Chain A
Amino acid sequence: MTTTVLPRVTYLNVRTTVASWLLTKDHKRIGILYLLVVSFAFLLGGIFAAGVRIELTTPEGDFVSADTYNRLFTMHGVAMVFFVLIPAVPAILGNFAMPLMIGARDVAFPKINLLSWYVFVIGFLFTLAAMLFGGVDTGWTFYTPYSSQASNSNVLLTGIGVFIAGFSSILTGLNFMVTIHRMRAPGMTWFRLPLFVWALYATSLVQILGTPVIAITVLMLALERALGFGIFDPRLGGDPVLFQHLFWFYSHPAVYIMILPPMGVISEVLACFSRKSIFGYSFVAFSSLAIAVFGFLVWAHHLFVAGISPYSAMVFSFLSFAVAIPSAVKTFNWAATLYRGAIWWRAPMIWVFGFIGLFLVGGLTGLFLASLGLDVHLHDTYFVVAHFHYIMVGGAIMGYFAGLHYWWPKITGRMYSNGLGTLAAMLVFVGFNLTFFPQFILGYLGMPRRYHAYPEEFQVLNVLSSAGASLLGIGYTLIACYLLYSLWKGEEAGANPWGATGLEWKTQSPPLPENFAQTPIVREGAYEYAKRETKVA
């Protein structure tokens, strides 16, 4: 490490008043604003999860009542899905890094970018209010008619919060799509774009086409609950399954909002720490688009036991299998990139390996659930819970932390402890498997999800799971500690501590307020590692 002093003028110190942060139009600062809110939501969701895991250490429902338990897992889901997983990578890392990576001064619509953060915060405040006034107990899926008629919890307030937060996601997607189309630096052709940018582009597509549908669905639910409209009301001849269709039309593609950007992160970090150009660049790029498109055609695999026609179930089963193909394309290309690479074991790379392993398990168990017969057995059991946590936590959150560890020196200009970063990645990896692998077995043995009590023979596996969750909690706390410590005592990182090729590493760390002193002119692809002598600054 060199001992150069931090650059004098950066986006962090150019103005330091609170107002300069709250009124900033700088995409880098907006990324940090998102980081603060999302981290708080992550803590909150984690606390709810802790409540769930404490209850499940014993077979009896002795820690909380059944009703409280319902609220705990619902609020865990709502906080984590809508306020952590969906914004985490696009709104934090994408906001910070994407304009830098394409050589732009900012996103296309900086004011709308700031607006999207405020919209997000307002949505979050509504949801927080719902939690403070006693929470919500419908499950994060808000299935009717329970949510529209039976539940006596704060469905309306939560629904409004989710509705509002959805517009933040739409605005971010819109902004990114236009930015990627119109703001690229001279010479930054589509096939020189970093794969993270391709992944964000595919994500924008899902955000733009999917999110409005959940918005209108939640609105219909709200009209039904508040005013007595009758769109999903079976007493009038309405169809509750229509709600499920509309809900999953967004919420399945939403899984790809969560996983596509981390996949992009993986491509960046993996190429950098293998010192190789990514294998099959165009295949990886197009697989992101393919996942986004296929992702819209698989939603009814959530409804296999809801009474849909066997013919449509067969089609959706087939399409759900098909979506595995572009995901496998990515995984194989990552493996091929590693092959004969000069692998550099630093903290971000450990997170990447964690991602690949866990995503693989999550993806393959998804195929079990896409099978019509097997799904009848596994539906609404802990197998499903384990499967989607392998994707959402093992995939999305591991990928998020890979990206955060990769870009942290760029964001803050400081290095964190590599040893602690590696330790945290391993703790989370072990803790995660200990938490969720037993749940595959529990689900296979028939333990249903969403109950606060269970038969005694399931206790051993549940205790293992709760023990793993404590490890996870320790791992995440550790990350917060050493990252915050690095702000204070971290070594200065220099412009390019990883010897990476992307444009974001060609400007100082932390970057200038306007990103680049001169707009870069791009003359080569994103991963020309082979051509250059890799120098670690």
Chain B
Amino acid sequence: MPDALAAHAEPHGHAHHPALQHHFQTMAQQQEAATLGMWVFLVTEVMFFGGLLMAYLLYRVWYPEAWSEGSLELDIRMGGFNTVVLIGSSLTMALAVRSAQTGAPRATVRWLLLTIALGLTFLVVKFFEYKEKYDLHHIPGPNFVFEGPQKDHLQIFFSLYFGLTGLHALHMVIGVSLLSVITWMAHRRRFSPEWYTPVEMSGLYWHFVDIVWIFLFPLLYLVDRAHQLS
């Protein structure tokens, strides 16, 4: 840690960047700690979704017909639209980070607001998708209704569908809240090219939530669509 060593040569009391917390020696050390911490957190998130995906994998192998049937029940237009929306929001998020990095606060705020808007669009579409499932009694539980011999296995499919997408939607809600705070901070000109760690960290989180959806969309919506096309 050459940076830390260098900082040590001088006595305490020289001017610090206002965002430097007392227990760090340098801004670089603080930034590295935050980045590593965020990546480690994302690893825990992978394991968190991993448990559900393990269950998904097992039952998909056991009950391929139910998976095919369940997948065809999902609304691919809404799901596809949401996929595009989320990928777009990752672009605007990346542009927000870039603006913060180059010291353009107005652009940062603008890109962040656009990211939030896209995130909310996703959630609204998801709400209507859930509502449709609710009307069809496809919510797993005692009131679950499905015509056909695969009913029980389809209840497992829908349990996993709601478990996975519900957890993802919860992460979206957290992400939107997080970005609202970051937008407010950016609006108050709190970030500079020397310190924009919170923007970058929220960006990492946002991209992660996006990537989760990139996996969920084909796993849930595209199980047996090739049949349909041919």
Contacts and interface: CB of A to CB of B under 8 A. Distances in A.
A227 B51 contact: no
B51 A208 contact: no
Interface of B: 1, 4-5, 8, 21-23, 25, 29, 32-33, 36-37, 40-41, 43-45, 47-52, 54-55, 58-59, 62-63, 140-142, 144, 152-153, 155-156, 159-160, 162-163
A401 to B, nearest CB: 30
B49 A110 contact: no
A233 to B, nearest CB: 8
Given A177-B40, A182-B32, A186-B5, 18 more contacts: A108-B33, A108-B37, A178-B36, A182-B29, A186-B1, A210-B47, A212-B45, A212-B51, A213-B47, A216-B48, A216-B51, A229-B159, A230-B159, A231-B55, A231-B159, A236-B153, A237-B59, A242-B58
A246 B163 CA distance: 16
B140 A182 contact: no
Does more than half of chain A's interface fall in helix, strand or loop, or is it mixed? helix
A211 B159 contact: no
Given A212-B45, A227-B141, A236 B51 contact: no
Contacts of B4: 185-186
Given A182-B33, A208-B44, A216-B49, A223 B163 contact: yes
Nearest to B31: A182
Interface of A: 104-110, 170, 174-175, 177-178, 181-186, 208-213, 215-217, 219-220, 223-224, 227-231, 233, 235-239, 242, 245-246, 249, 514, 519, 521
A174 B50 contact: no
Nearest to A187: B5
Does more than half of chain B's interface fall in helix, strand or loop, or is it mixed? helix
Nearest to A211: B44
A110 B30 CA distance: 12
B208 to A, nearest CB: 13
B140 to A, nearest CB: 5
Closest 10 CB pairs of A and B: A228-B141, A216-B51, A212-B48, A212-B47, A106-B23, A229-B159, A236-B152, A105-B23, A182-B33, A108-B33
Contacts of B52: 216, 220
A208 B144 CA distance: 36
A104 B141 contact: no
Given A108-B33, A182-B29, A521-B8, A237 B153 contact: yes
Contact of B156 (A106, A181, A237, A246): A237
Contacts of B36: 177-178, 181-182
A236 B23 contact: no
Given A174-B44, A229-B140, A109 B33 contact: yes
A223 B40 contact: no
> Which of A215, A217, A236, A246 is packed against the most chain B CB atoms within 10 Å?
A236
Contacts of A109: 33, 37
B152 A178 contact: no
Contacts of A108: 23, 33, 37
Contact of B55 (A110, A210, A220): A220
Contacts of A219: 163
A109 B40 CA distance: 13
Nearest to B43: A208
A103 to B, nearest CB: 10
A186 B8 contact: yes
A197 to B, nearest CB: 16
Contact of B51 (A105, A175, A185, A246): A246
A209 B62 CA distance: 27
Contact of B142 (A211, A228, A231, A238): A228
A246 B58 CA distance: 12
Contacts of A177: 36, 40
Nearest to B139: A227
